[in-house]
Structure 1
Amino acid sequence: MNDMTPVQTTLKDWETDQEVRWCPGCGDYAILKAVQRTLPQIGADPSKTVFISGIGCSSRFPYYMETYGFHTIHGRAPAFATGAKLANPELDVWLVTGDGDGLSIGGNHLMHVLRRNVNMQIMLFNNEIYGLTKGQFSPTSREGTRSPSTPYGSFDHPAKPAAFALGAGARFVGRGFDVSKHLPDVFKAAHAHQGAAFIEIFQNCIVYNKDVFNDFAAPKGAEDRQLWLADGEPMLFAKGTKGIALDRDALALKVVDVEGDDWQSAGVLVHDVTNRSVAHMLVELPFGPFPMALGVLYDDPAPTFEAGVAAEHDRAVEGKENNLAKLLAKGQTWTVSGTAQDPV
């Protein structure tokens, strides 16, 4: 986990005196509480924690956390977060963004914080709509989405945040949804990961895209359409009656029926969080024929960006005197020796 001494806190220690201002019923409330419940459990220190956001409904998050925080500019939160981590590597950095903020104007910045592997937790709230600006379609909106900016239906092919993260080189990719009881477990795994940990959170926009995720994320009744992944455990869903296996001829995943507890005979795969190829297949599964893959899809740590920057700095200053006044007083003088040449 992050290099810091665990401290004892309660949920109340992470709540501010600010009025939480989202639309009544917004999924952001549930995500906020999930984070505030998780932080005491992992021993996080409010004095060493910072939440950094861009622009959007999700980006109000720093106001509601009793920590350091920055509410920055549209799409640029990853750049601010990278700067904070480089300036003080001891900080526990949480980046909050949305599908519009992070994948439109901020797509370039998000790509670079992932490929660089800066040690932070990145929460992308995906409600498949621009909520703050009153319901325009977003990069993740489904084809046919009707909105003020697409009155006849969107014909854009939607971006897939988890696939984007893997393609950008992320070493940790997780998924959850706002009201899930398992969401804190995904946060804990992300926090334990050394490097950029990307978490896509399906979030219900009660006003502009209500219940768009109900097929798999309804508070009740959608459990059979959820594939919650756990490292070393078989990929089972629908109360263990179905599983995910590999179609070796097509080199693709398929759904198989499971008789009793005999998932091995059905060829059900055991989840390996370090298998990047399977993670790519899981995030690309079409929902409907397949369940929604949730939990920790990929977790394979690699050296972090800030560790590389610190090591480079140490090499650059090795054997050099750290005395700015002496350096300034030294001046810039040199001696030119040799025979002057006649001008041409």
Structure 2
Amino acid sequence: MNAPTKIETTLKDWETDQEVRWCPGCGDYAILKAVQRTLPQLGADPSNTVFISGIGCSSRFPYYMETYGFHTIHGRAPAVATGVKLANPDLDIWLVTGDGDGLSIGGNHMLHVLRRNVNMQIMLFNNEIYGLTKGQYSPTSRIGTRSPSTPIGSVDRPANPCAFALGAGARFVGRGFDVSKNLPDVLKAAHAHQGAAFIEIFQNCIVYNKDVFNDFAAPKGAEDRQLWLEDGQPMLFAGGTQGIALDNENLCLKVVDVTDGDWEAAGVIVHDVTNRSIAHMLVELPFGPFPMALGVLYDDPRPTFESGVAEERAKATAGKEANLAKLLGSGQTWSVDDKEGHPAE
């Protein structure tokens, strides 16, 4: 596996001639532009990049990227992406899915691509609803969500995508939202990670679940309810007037006030992206009493699946001759002769 050669591109090099067709105001537009602006900054090569998606609004993504791509079947994008990566480990794989596609019918495949640690970026667009199939509740919909399939209100307890990813063994977990100026930084960190990098992106569904994330993702006025995490930096929010500290007695996190900028005296935690225990606590923080934890929550690489497969293949073939005819003629074989004792043709 070779490190890809960085090249110079512009946003235009990543745009196709296809008309972008999402509902006007859909958060997918902002995510698309964030990705198209980020890839030139990474020095990525369109001819070495593949976008793979399943089924859903988010899964139209490959049509709008001037790269190679697959629009696969419902929930199976991780399986296809794994096959592509094993066939050509040098390719830069981006997997695009949604909360329904990735966590309902595709939950099994998502689990395995994460635990295997296949080197790719996985963007899960979470709008807490099934948008393409006209607004049914999804695995991440909140209790009480009214939809065509739950007219009285959903009684399901919603899945937490980042908690799922950590539980499946993901070595990188990040979080952002569609219109955030910080989303490209999360994408860059995911791309730098060697292994399966899972990014949950909160995405506004303008038609079926409008403004459901406005409490922390509104264009203006919600910054005080966002905890943007940065490795080696204190967990501060609300303009530095509040922070997150560890409640040692109850082994949980708590919000503390910070006076005169003295966060150390307040006991505010310094973010360590390799601390898996704190990452679990951060993704489970209930929004309201706590801010929404965003950015890179966990980043602790380990050997990738495809590197292990390549190593195993090399050991299995070491010192052996690649001779198909010899292989077919080995072992328990026999020949059929004609009546005169000559080999039959």
TM-score band, normalised by shorter chain: over 0.9
The structure-2 alpha-carbon separation of the partners of 1:322 and 1:2, relative to structure 1 and needing over 3 Å to count, comes to closer
**Partner SS, residue 239 of structure 1:** helix
Instruction: Show the 5 A alignment for 1:146-165.
Output: 146-165=146-165
Paired residue for 2:339?
none
- Rounded to whole Å, the distance in 1 between the matches of 2:142 and 2:65 is 32
- Rounded to whole Å, the distance in 1 between the matches of 2:2 and 2:184 is 17
Once the two structures are TM-superposed, the CA of residue 215 in structure 1 deviates from its matched residue by 0.1
Once the two structures are TM-superposed, the CA of residue 333 in structure 1 deviates from its matched residue by 3.9
Per-residue Cα deviation, 1:190-246 (whole angstroms, up to 9, x for no partner):
000000000000000000000000000011110000000000000000000000000
Once the two structures are TM-superposed, the CA of residue 332 in structure 1 deviates from its matched residue by 4.2
Q: State the TM-score, normalizing by the size of structure 2.
A: 0.95
Paired residue for 2:268?
268
**Partner SS, residue 265 of structure 1:** helix
Paired residue for 2:31?
31
- Rounded to whole Å, the distance in 1 between the matches of 2:40 and 2:151 is 45
Instruction: Show the 5 A alignment for 1:23-102.
Output: 23-102=23-102
Structure 1: 5+ residue stretches without partners: 335-344
Per-residue Cα deviation, 1:44-67 (whole angstroms, up to 9, x for no partner):
010000000000000000000000
Paired residue for 1:187?
187
Once the two structures are TM-superposed, the CA of residue 261 in structure 1 deviates from its matched residue by 1.6
Once the two structures are TM-superposed, the CA of residue 2 in structure 1 deviates from its matched residue by 8.1
- Rounded to whole Å, the distance in 1 between the matches of 2:137 and 2:2 is 37
- Rounded to whole Å, the distance in 2 between the matches of 1:244 and 1:51 is 37
Instruction: Show the 5 A alignment for 1:1-344.
Output: 3-328=3-328, 332-333=332-333
- Rounded to whole Å, the distance in 1 between the matches of 2:252 and 2:2 is 36
The structure-2 alpha-carbon separation of the partners of 1:2 and 1:233, relative to structure 1 and needing over 3 Å to count, comes to farther
**Partner SS, residue 199 of structure 2:** strand
Per-residue Cα deviation, 1:261-288 (whole angstroms, up to 9, x for no partner):
2000000000000000000000000000
Contact 1:228 1:293 in 2 (8 A): yes
- Rounded to whole Å, the distance in 2 between the matches of 1:92 and 1:333 is 45
State the one-letter code of the partner of 1:220: K
- Rounded to whole Å, the distance in 1 between the matches of 2:86 and 2:174 is 24
State the one-letter code of the partner of 2:260: G
**Partner SS, residue 239 of structure 2:** coil
State the one-letter code of the partner of 2:96: V
Once the two structures are TM-superposed, the CA of residue 328 in structure 1 deviates from its matched residue by 3.6
Per-residue Cα deviation, 1:106-161 (whole angstroms, up to 9, x for no partner):
00000000000000000000000000000000000000000000000000000000
Structure 2: 5+ residue stretches without partners: 335-345
Contact 1:100 1:139 in 2 (8 A): yes
- Rounded to whole Å, the distance in 1 between the matches of 2:131 and 2:238 is 33
Contact 1:31 1:178 in 2 (8 A): yes
Contact 1:2 1:191 in 2 (8 A): no
Per-residue Cα deviation, 1:291-317 (whole angstroms, up to 9, x for no partner):
000000000000000000000000100
Paired residue for 1:338?
none
- Rounded to whole Å, the distance in 2 between the matches of 1:2 and 1:184 is 25
**Partner SS, residue 19 of structure 1:** coil
**Partner SS, residue 93 of structure 1:** strand
Once the two structures are TM-superposed, the CA of residue 324 in structure 1 deviates from its matched residue by 2.0
Q: State the TM-score, normalizing by the size of structure 1.
A: 0.95
- Rounded to whole Å, the distance in 1 between the matches of 2:279 and 2:75 is 26
- Rounded to whole Å, the distance in 1 between the matches of 2:270 and 2:155 is 37
Per-residue Cα deviation, 1:84-115 (whole angstroms, up to 9, x for no partner):
00000000000000000000000000000000
Identity of aligned residues (%): 86
State the one-letter code of the partner of 1:67: T
- Rounded to whole Å, the distance in 1 between the matches of 2:218 and 2:131 is 20
